[in-house]
Amino acid sequence: MKARRGWAAPLTQCLACVAGCLLALLAALSLTLFREGYYIHKLEKSDCLSAITENILQAGQKVAQTAGLRQDILDSLVTQEDVRVAVLRRTDEIWHGSTTQPDSPYTDVVTYLQDTVSAETGEMWEEDDLNLYNSIRAVCDDMWRSNAVPPLANGLNLLMQYRRVTTPLTIVLVAVLLVCLWLQVPLCRSWRQLAGALYTIGGGIVLGAVLGLIAVQLSGWQGWMPAADPAYALYKSWFGGFAPVLAACGSGIAGLVWLVGLLPYTMALRTEKARRKKKAPAAGNQ
Amino acid sequence: MRKQHSQAAASEQKSGKGKKLLLPLAFSVVALAVLLVVMVPVVSQLRPAVSSSGLPEEASIPLLATPVPQQTEEPQQTTVDLEAYPEAGDLLGHLTVSGTTVDCDVYYGDSESEFKKGAGVYKGAHIPGEGGTILMGAHTNTYFRDFESAQIGADVTFTTDYGEYHYTITDMKVATDTDTTAYDLDADRENLIMYTCYPFGTLQYTDQRYFIYCDYVSGPTVEPQQP
């Protein structure tokens, strides 16, 4: 493939490949690590919500024990659904910055303890008991806010700052890619050359994305979190989904470029067929 | 003549095929290099951020609000010997604030290199156990993002390799970055001041800072103290 201006064609093709690969990266991030639904899906599929519920129940039992009450007296106040709702709300807070505090299931714990303890012991509660129950409520509310939180909050908060620049960057990269693709038209001499240039760009994008996948897999991300961490399985499935999607997005963008390349390829075939037809009668006359 | 022509055509076809393979490969290597340049700074920040999920194996119960105060023992004031005073960039300990998702490592020093990995303690102030003001900051878009969930009375746990320190949140306020009245570095009692940029989660430059003031509750004193 010869270009009209020596370096211009390969340079614009290279730029198109870089823009395409960066677009694939942004698309992969938007579909995985930057997407709330993806995180929630992985969270709900993991054991983390059960682990959080278990932790909260155990903490409630410790509080009750320390207060001299029946150990499992607070258990009935917390359900896995309460935990799920609270964790999802806090997750939403990370993504959208809402400041709505999740409802604590311990809001009515004072009344609940007054009724339950009185019913169990047959004695009415007194002033000291009320102080104790209020204190239990304060502890449980604080314990609830500390524990009913989405795992990987630090990592998510960090990623959110990059998510904000995704839209302007995408617009710029799409523009660069389209301009570079369009530039192939004046830079190529024939339809066949143009088809070849688009084929090269697509190939560069798909190879770049595959190399990106390999680079991510070789980065050792599996060891960034200790395997003993209770949320390690969630981390592995959450972060592990990114690299394959990067390769898939690269293939998708390359596919689009190749699809565009079908047009000049078809035109090249037609032109060559017409030329052959023209030449054929001339050869017959000889 | 016809033979020569067909040989030239074959060699041109061969070199064309080579170009078709080599050019995309060369471009992909360039693209990969650009991807790495973009991703390496993000990864260097993400790596410490995901080193802990913040999900404890056992739920933490706030120390301060133990329901029956008379049953808890008064924390004993002990003294520990520091082998060496920390230097800039040293890992000082781990911080959690009850009721929030604040759960990060704390480093000595408050430059960008410390803030990338966690919270940083101002070197001109004190470290836990010295009996003075500990001034600690972190970025609002990462480790101190959840300051908005902090409430007065919450328990702040600062775990160092020489002891576990507990503080309780007593006050919070917004001040400008040049307002030196927002903190007292010469206080003669142990206290912890945490700060981050305000509004929370902002990425742009802001001259506002959100301060959280904490009183000392328990933890050993240290020797030797700051040189």
B227 burial class (0-12, 13-18, 19+ CB within 10 angstroms)?
Answer: exposed
Residue B193 pLDDT: 96
Nearest CA in chain A to B152: A142
Task: Indicate whether B95 pLDDT > 80.
Answer: yes
Mean pLDDT on B16-45: 82
Q: Which CATH architecture has domain B88-223?
A: Beta Barrel (2.40)
Q: Is the pLDDT confidence value at B2 over 50?
A: no
Per-residue model confidence (pLDDT) at position B27: 87
Q: What is the pLDDT of residues B74-88, one digit of tens each?
A: 555 688 877 788 998
- DSSP string across A125-172: --HHHHHHHHHHHHHHHHHHHHHSS-TTHHHHHHHHHHHTTHHHHHHH
Position A5 scores a pLDDT of 57
pLDDT of amino acid A101: 64
Comparing alpha-carbon positions, the chain B residue that sits nearest to A99 is: B148
What value does the mean pLDDT of chain A take? 88
Closest to B194 in 3D by CA, of B116, B117, B128: B128
High-pLDDT (> 70) share of chain B, %: 81
In this structure, chain B runs to a length of: 227
Comparing C-alpha atoms, which of A210, A180, A214 is closest to residue A194? Answer: A180
**Max CA-CA distance within chain A?**
122
Smallest CA–CA distance, residue A246 to chain B, in Å, is 11
- pLDDT score, position A286: 44
**A161 in B contact zone (CB under 8 Å):** yes
Residue A265 pLDDT > 70, yes or no? Answer: yes
Helices within B68-148 (DSSP H only): 112-117
Whether chain B has a CB inside 8 Å of the CB on A55: the answer is yes
Lowest mean pLDDT among A94-98, A153-157, A179-183: A94-98
Cβ distance B50 to A152 less than 8 Å, yes or no, reads yes
* Residue A212 confidence (pLDDT): 93
Question: Is residue A256 predicted with pLDDT exceeding 80?
Answer: yes
Q: Give percent of chain A above pLDDT 70.
A: 94
Q: A15 at the B interface (CB within 8 A)?
A: no
Please determine, for residue A10, whether its predicted confidence score (pLDDT) is greater than 60. Answer: yes
Higher pLDDT, A251 or B21: A251
pLDDT in tens, B178-224: 998 999 999 989 999 999 998 887 777 889 999 999 999 999 988 76
Residue of chain A whose alpha carbon sits nearest to that of B26: A204
CA distance A259 to B186: 70
Comparing CB atoms, the residue among A48, A212, A219 nearest residue B55 is: A48
Mean pLDDT within A93-103 = 73
Q: What is the mean pLDDT of residues A151-176?
A: 91
B92 pLDDT band, cuts 50/70/90, is very high
Residue B171 confidence (pLDDT) above 90: yes
In this prediction, residue A100 carries a pLDDT of: 63
CB atoms within 10 A of CB B153: 15
Look at residue B21 and tell me whether its pLDDT is greater than 80: no
The CA-based angle A179-A181-A185, given to 5 degrees, is 105
pTM exceeds 0.90:
no
Mean pLDDT (chain B) is 82
Using alpha carbons, select from A258, A248, A11 the residue that is nearest to residue B30. A11
- B contacts of A159 (beta carbons < 8 Å): 46
Q: Where are the domains of chain B?
A: 1-50, 88-223
Range A78-83 average pLDDT = 92
**Does residue B103 register a pLDDT over 60?**
yes
CB contact under 8 Å between A18 and B34, yes or no, is yes
A185-240 confidence digits (pLDDT tens): 888 888 888 888 899 899 999 999 999 999 999 999 999 999 999 999 999 999 99
Query: Would you state the pLDDT for residue A129?
Result: 87
Which positions in chain A touch B47 (Cβ < 8 Å)?
224
What gap in Å lies between CA A133 and CA B47, rounded to an integer? 43
CA triple B149-A66-A139, angle to 5 deg: 15
Q: What is the mean pLDDT of residues B37-53?
A: 86
pLDDT of the residue at A52: 94
Q: Does the distance separating the beta carbons of B25 and A155 come in below 8 Å?
A: no
Cβ contact A145–B56 (<8 Å): no
Contact A234 B53 (CB under 8 A): yes
Determine, for residues B27 and A224 on separate chains, whether the beta-carbon distance falls below 8 Å.
no
- pLDDT for the residue numbered A98: 65
Q: Is A200 exposed, middle or buried (0-12, 13-18, 19+ CB in 10 A)?
A: buried
